[in-house]
Structure 1
Amino acid sequence: MDLVTLGAIGLCIMLALIALRVPLAYAMGAVGFVGLIAAFGFPEGRPVNLMRGWNVAWSYISFEPYSAVSSYTLIAIPLFLLMGFFAFYAGFTRDMYATARAWLSGMPGGLAMATVAGCAMFAAVSGSSMATAAAMGKLAVPEMLKAKYDKGLATGVVAAGGTLGALIPPSILMILYGIFTEQSVGKLLMAGLIPGLLTAFMYMLMIFVRATINPKWAPRPASVTWGERIGSLKGTWSVLILFVIVMGGLYAGIVTATEAAAMGALGAWVLAMVSKRLSLADNKSSVLETIVQTSSIFAIVVGAKLFVGFITITGITGVFAGFFINMDLPPIGILLMLSLMYIILGTFMDPLGIMLLTLPVVTPVVQSLGYDLIWFGVIMVKLLEIGMITPPLGLNVFVLKGVVGAIRSNLKRSSGASHGSC
């Protein structure tokens, strides 16, 4: 069988499995492994030899996946996740939101603006978009609803603000992008900082304008004194220290991304223990959740490694690259087409899966167009952010739906208990 045809069939089967809600790691791994068997077991113009295909595929699966997840750079992912969970369980998230709320709540849409600021600060210690949306949803949505904010605003702000976790360093997506494209992870993390902060500022500006035009949309709560504002700053010192440890070391060139992650995780644990805000149970929960999240991410990485090996052998990446390059469009036109593709894929797929699925095809195209891969990495992550809140699905919206549903259930139980006691 022609290898390019085999690659196209494999890609279609993979997309069909995703549409059937087969977990991405299993879909990519299964198609990659079977595809390797087919590629070497049914060689074009030669007799069928399934045993040869099996031996080659088994040899590949016994080495490449382990090589992928044992990468030194990849160690940064569980370390950054651990830093985020330590910060969450120690209450640093609550402190950050309280500070932002104290300084911004007196402005039009102040609570919503404070939520975006809180998302940006939590993103600086979490590295995950969905974790940021879930954590801030538990804190900010009840406060905004209590202040009579529009329900769409209260939930939409958290869903959009949560996407900052994918761009503001440390970003798990940036780390994996750097590994799969063989780019400097440190440079990628630094490149995402300004775009992430600019995105947060534009969100806040939009909220301010909308709330000024329609004050009923976001009523102002009671005013906060300057003493309360100054006092709230004490809640930011822990996050600022962690940010300086991680990003300061990277910008100064003192540490690598992996070393910065290790320092950040250790720093978060020490700060939490010194402030006596991390119990033994919290330590256990932080480690267990880190293991669960890391296992999920690494499973996708292993599946992607198998699928990428199959796709590379078939040569379909070169066909796609040639298709885009030979189109009668300027480079910016092709880039716009790729941007639309990422936004559409983001409406129904996990951003990590989208990135690992498309990089083998897209990277040669971007390089042939003359674009810098560090720059394109920031663009790709930004596009994935947009997809995470774009209808008809949008993963951050689903995460927030679960959080808000839990909040409503708790409120109903509390209301029922209060009526019963009466």
Structure 2
Amino acid sequence: MSDIAVGLTGLGTIFGLIALRVPIGVALITVSFGGLWVLLGWRVAWGALAVVPYQFSANWVLSSVPMFLLLGFVCYHAELTRGLFRAARVWTASLPGGLAIAAIFGSAGFAAVCGSSLACSAAMGRIAVPEMTANRYSAELATGTVAVAGTIGALIPPSILLILYGVIAQAPVTELFLAGVSVGLLTALGYVVVVLVRVWLNPALAPPMDERLTRTERLASLVETWPILTVMIAIFGGLFSGVFTPTEAGAVGAFLSVLVALVRRSLSWGKFRLAVEETLTTTAALILIGVGASLLTRFLALSGAGDYLASAVLALGADPTVLLFGIIVMYLVLGMFLEPIGALLLTMPIVLPIIDDLSWSLIWFGIVLTKLLEIGMLTPPIGMNVFVIKSVVGDLVDTGTIFRGVLWFLVMDLAILVLISQVPQIVLYLPQAVG
């Protein structure tokens, strides 16, 4: 068997193991180690297993991942987001579907300190879904809105997905963060349009609220947002003014979130310990997958399978737009079965050579890729954000209803995806303007 055949066989084996529900990190490490053994012998395989985990995990930028995760978990458990939703609720109460729109803006605000779509969905689901249900909103609209609003967390910085992509693709994380801002806000506005159109077509989905609020009451509601705004302004202000790097921003944000929560007396020792435990387990899982992806990159490079696949795709002679369409379809399909970080790290060794040969912007592609991976968080059969909302609402709403609610927003997501794919300047404007 040729080296390329060994590489391709290993790649196929990985997908087979994943289909059998073997943890993706375990599948990547096992197959890559075995492939290196077959190609170059057991000494090289063990040598790679000894060196690669350190090389990957010692990357300085990765130190921000546990800090941003801790920041998000502390904000979640200390309920620092409640004031944000209440303020959005007050200011959007007069709009059709105002509570759903408030959930979207609340999620966008939480995304600016969280970086995780799952945490965004869970936090806003606990607050917004009961509120919408109490005001006789359709369960489909209520749960679907919160499920999709959580995906903004992967686009608006800080974003765990963008940090990992930046590490793997060697792209500047600050520029990725800036590019994510415009697409994240565009996504939020697109979701608002969906809510407005749906409620306009069927007012029964979101009965109008009877509240009559004065200007003073609206301004007073903004005071409740100080916990999140304090952390948000500190992170963005320091990050984009150059006071600290994206890596340091995570530690600053985590420290401030704990400090603010203690000032509000909303963070007990039990909640803090739970946030730390969740941070440790999530970070360990991410590092395991990352190490596996690094081993796979080495295995594919040494076998020649990575270059072979890239050359085979480019040899088709297809227009770059057609190639991009093929990549989009691939990720949409993978998103139905894999969680985003696993899909990202699994495919980067194959996709990056193609991007390099086509001279595509790594910043632009990173945002397109993140958008694709977040769409996967909503599509069946996995649809992780959907199942997060299901865990929040319990037996009150069935999973099928949540998926139906998400469907309308998926149409908008695909429209935004087409727009940023064909007009890259939407993504690149902020990085170029600031740079």
Give me the TM-score of the superposition, normalised by structure 1: 0.91
Q: Which residue of 2 aligns with 1:299?
A: 288
Distance 1:388 1:284, change over 3 A: same
Choose the corresponding residue for 2:204, options 216, 230, 233.
216
Mapped pair 1:235 → 2:228: no
Q: Which residue of 1 aligns with 2:91?
A: 103
Contact 2:339 2:376 survives alignment (8 Å): no
Alignment-derived partner of residue 419 in structure 1: none
Q: Secondary structure at the match of 1:14?
A: helix
| 1:224 shift after superposition | 4.2
What is the alpha-carbon distance in structure 1 between the residues aligned to residue 165 and residue 132 of structure 2?
36
Tell me how far 1:407 sits from its aligned partner: 6.7
- Distance, in Å, in 1 between the alignment partners of 2:386 and 2:304 is 37
- How far is 1:321 from its partner? 1.2
Task: Tell me what 1:44 maps to.
Answer: none
Aligned to 1:87: 75
CA distance in 1, matches of 2:57, 2:16: 27
Distance 1:280 1:148 in 2: 37
Contact 1:126 1:170 in 2 (8 A): yes
Deviation at 1:74, TM superposition (A): 0.3
Give % identity: 44
Query: Contact between 1:124 and 1:170, CA under 8 Å: does it hold in 2?
Result: yes
d(CA) in 2 for partners of 1:241 and 1:131?
Answer: 19
Aligned counterparts of 2:393 and 2:28: Cα–Cα separation in 1: 32
**Partners of 2:85 and 2:106 in 1: how far apart?**
5
Give 2:127's match in structure 1, choosing from 139, 144, 156. 139
Does residue 178 of structure 1 match 2:178? no
1:131 Cα deviation from its structure 2 partner:
1.4
Asked if 2 retains the 8 angstrom alpha-carbon contact of 1:92 and 1:235, the reply is: no
Moved more, 56-65 or 297-306: 297-306
Provide Cα deviations, 1:362-416, integer angstroms capped at 9, x if missing partner.
111112112110111001001111121123432211222222217779xxxxxxx
Does the alignment pair 1:61 with 2:49? yes
Q: Do the aligned partners of 1:166 and 1:381 also contact (CA within 8 Å) in 2?
A: yes
CA deviations over 1:11-61 (Å, ceiling 9, x no partner): 111001111111111111111111111111xxxxxxxxxxxx111111111
**Number of residue pairs the alignment of both structures matches:** 397
2-structure distance, mates of 1:177, 1:266: 25
Quote the Cα distance in structure 2 between the aligned partners of 1:247 and 1:362.
31
Q: CA deviation at 1:253?
A: 2.6
Task: For 1:316, give the aligned amino acid.
Answer: A
Q: Does 1:379 align with 2:368?
A: yes
Please give the secondary structure, in 1, of the residue aligned with 2:81.
helix
Which amino acid in 1 is paired with 2:51?
A: F
Counterpart-to-counterpart distance in 2, 1:146 and 1:237: 26
Amino acid at match of 2:225: T
SS in 2 for 1:389: coil
The one-letter code of the counterpart of 1:85 is F
Larger Rg: 1
Letter in 1 for 2:57: V
Map of 1:319 onto structure 2? 308
How far apart, CA to CA, are the structure 1 residues paired with 2:111 and 2:208? Answer: 26
CA displacement 1:351-371 (0-9 Å, x = unmatched): 001110111111111121121
The answer to whether the 8 A contact 1:115-1:161 is kept is: yes
**1:210-233 residue CA offsets vs partner (Å, 9 max, x unmatched):** 112211011122314123322211
- For residues 312 and 301 of structure 1, the distance between their equivalents in structure 2, rounded to whole angstroms, comes to 17
Q: Which residue does the alignment assign to 1:255?
A: 244
Q: Which residue identity does 2:160 align to in structure 1?
A: I
The aligned counterpart of 1:29 is 29
Offset, 1:155 = 1.2
Partners of 2:237 and 2:371 in 1: how far apart?
A: 23
Equivalent-residue separation in structure 1 for 2:16 and 2:328 (angstroms):
22
Judging changes above 3 Å, is the alpha-carbon distance between structure 1 residues 272 and 407 closer, same or farther for their aligned structure 2 residues?
farther
Q: Aligned-residue CA RMSD in angstroms?
A: 1.6
Q: Which amino acid aligns with 2:188?
A: A
| Alpha-carbon contact 2:84-2:106 (below 8 Å) kept | yes
Q: Pairwise mapping of residues 358-377 of structure 1 onto structure 2 (< 5 A)? A: 358-377=347-366
Q: Does residue 265 of the first structure (1) align with residue 265 of the second (2)?
A: no
Q: 2:109 aligns with which of 121, 143, 156?
A: 121
Cα contact 2:73–2:279 (8 A) shared by 1: yes
Contact 1:190/1:247 (8 A) holds in 2 = no
Structure 1 unaligned blocks of 5 or more? 41-52, 410-422
Q: Which runs of 5+ in 2 are unaligned?
A: 399-435
Larger mean Cα displacement after TM superposition, 392-401 or 173-182: 392-401
Identify the match of residue 330 of structure 1 among 311, 316, 319.
319
**Higher mean displacement: 63-72 or 397-406:** 397-406
Asked if structure 2 preserves the Cα contact closer than 8 Å seen for 1:347 and 1:395, the reply is no
